[in-house]
Amino acid sequence: MKKPNNHLLVIFGASGDLTYRKLIPSVFDLYTQNLLPDHFGILGLGRTKISDADFRAKMSEGIDRFASTKAKDKAHRDKFLNCLYYYAFNTKEESEYKGLKDKITDLNSALKTENNYTFYLATPPSMYPIIPQYIAKQGLNDERDGFKRLIVEKPFGYDLESAHQLNKDLQKVFNEEQIYRIDHYLGKETVQNLLVTRFSNGIFEPLWNRNYIHHVEITSAEEIGVGSRGGYYEGSGALRDMVQNHLLLLASLVAMEPPTLISADSIRDEIVKVLQSLRPIPEDKVEEFVLRGQYTASEIKGKTMKAYREEEGVNPKSRTETFVAMKFFIDNWRWAGVPFYIRTGKSLPTRVTEIVIHFQSTPHHIFSDDKNIMRQQNQLVIRIQPDEGLLLKFGMKVPGAGFNVQDVNMDFHYSDLNDTYLPSAYERLLLDCMLGDATLYSRGDAVEAAWKFVTPILNAWKKRPCIKVHGYPAGTWGPDVSDQLIEGAQTWRYPCKNLTGDGEYCEL
């Protein structure tokens, strides 16, 4: 595999959780697979004053806990740790950036990283517009002597206006080609497989439209509550935290037209077209299309589960949603009239993300027990996590007298592929950025289009507190009224950890 050019990765917010849990362990995984360039270094930046040795010791612990791979031996591992450096400074203080530039220049000479720098913003979002301006003033955005890339973590904006402003602020000092907006869902192997499933199989693509698809359902459920992230989550809620980015992205990949090429712009052009075709939900119709909920205290198998309002950092009268279910349409030729349903929540019975394509049923039902509408529809389940794989449900004759029909499963599990290493999302995305490939990063226009769609919903919730926040006991599948969102006699699929084990009681 091609190796990236020599470079220095500069992480703002290096004393935070993301660096410890995701970034350094992922770069370490690239190292153990020999995917890093020969001349490479990481400079961690933060306010906390610690030495290189302290930083290395802490990151070493993060590697032990979160990396997927292991070094060959101690010397191999130490070689990686020795390319980590730390520099303490105040990111809010413009005058301190001269010192940062000197530090970067020194390291660049010592490590021979050829003036190629990637800046990773893993700081609180309030710093996203500021840091790029200050590094640009030091000339660290200038690509004449080497590449300069900027990775921006989510959340990218708080609503349409702030996302638009952030795009403007970043684009003042970096070109769009230099900006890498992360949505870690695109880094997931199974999310990328969506494109392969659709566009490399002659059996699916002809059916992939309004003539053969009845509706599309996307679920992203989490078993855990907000835990220690209450402070952040209070100002966010599930719509901003999961729907605006990850779930609309999944819907776009399901709905997009085939790209002309597998290239950053061809794929991102198709994604943005879907987002721009989302039928707007007017503020006064929000209740009809969107449902919000919040988990309440409960007792499951003798274990007491906290209410959201009891979590640390959460207002005891909070109306922040921890669950969202919504229905929407994509107004284009392919999808006219096909409802898309998406749902996400915290403190649900299990952790699962999957997409279910419900095909139209046969036009005439000739078998005696073929009465059940769910049974009449073939379903293709694309499982993103866990038990990653594909499941096709179809009807088979029950052996014996008569023509009794039964649903059967045809399933493929990634785990059946022996010796196949599934890289983590951050590992894949970091490598892509190092290689200068932005295909799996979000483009500015797509982020804005997604915000444009969700902003009227946020406005309605803010302006009209009479819109209900439904309580649901922690550990259940959200408010029971969410089934009513789905038209006709259907309900959501209630999946289990195991891809094929639907409709059963979920193990908690």
> Which positions from 348 to 367 touch ligand BG6 by CB under 6 A, shown as an x/- string?
-----x--------------
Burial class (CB in 10 A: 0-12, 13-18, 19+), 260: exposed
Regarding 241 and contact with ligand BG6 (CB under 6 A), the answer is yes
Residue 280's Cα: distance from chain center in Å?
A: 22
396's tokens: 């088979």
Strand, helix or coil for residue 244: helix
Taking CB under 6 A as the criterion, which residues in 128-157 touch ligand BG6? 154
Give the tokens for residue 113: 């990283």
Please state, in angstroms and rounded to a whole number, the distance separating the CA atoms of residues 476 and 307: 12
Q: Give the nearer residue to ligand BG6 in terms of CB position, either 259 or 293.
A: 293
Could you say whether residue 311 binds ligand BG6 (CB under 6 A)? no
Query: How far, in Å, are 150, 178, 186 from residue 170 at the CA level?
Result: 9, 10, 22
Name the residue number minimizing CB distance to ligand BG6: 241
Angle between helix axes 248-255 and 189-199 (nearest 10 degrees) is 20
Q: How far is the CB of 279 from ligand BG6 (least distance, A)?
A: 25
Q: Is residue 29 close enough to count as binding ligand BG6 by CB under 6 A?
A: no
- Residue 447 and residue 263: Cα distance in Å, rounded? 18
**Shorter beta-carbon distance to ligand BG6: residue 29 or 241:** 241
**Helix, strand, coil percent content, the chain, rounded in steps of 5:** 40, 20, 40
Number of separate helices (H) and strands (E) present in the chain: 16, 17
Nearer to ligand BG6, 222 or 502 (CB): 222
Q: Is 427 in the site for ligand BG6 (CB under 6 A)?
A: no
Rounded to an integer, what distance in angstroms lies between the CA atom of residue 151 and that of residue 27? Answer: 14
- Please state the closest distance from residue 309 (CB atom) to ligand BG6, in A: 18
Nearer residue to ligand BG6 within complex by CB, 229 or 268: 229
| E-strand stretches of 165-316 | 179-181, 213-221, 290-296, 298-300, 303-305
CB of 185 vs ligand BG6, minimal distance in Å: 7
Residues serving a catalytic function are 246
Least CB distance to ligand BG6 at residue 90 (A)? 27
Minimum CB–partner distance for residue 476 and ligand BG6 (Å): 18
CB of 507 to ligand BG6, least distance (A): 19
Total residue count of the chain as it appears in this document: 508
CA distances from 335 to 196, 215, 245 (A): 20, 10, 21
The yes or no reply on residue 222 touching ligand BG6 (CB under 6 A) is yes
**Shorter beta-carbon distance to ligand BG6: residue 101 or 154:** 154
Task: Tell me the site size for ligand BG6, rule CB under 6 A.
Answer: 4
Residue 243 vs 356, nearer CB to ligand BG6: 243
- Judged by the rule CB under 6 A, the positions of this chain that interact with ligand BG6 are 154, 222, 241, 353
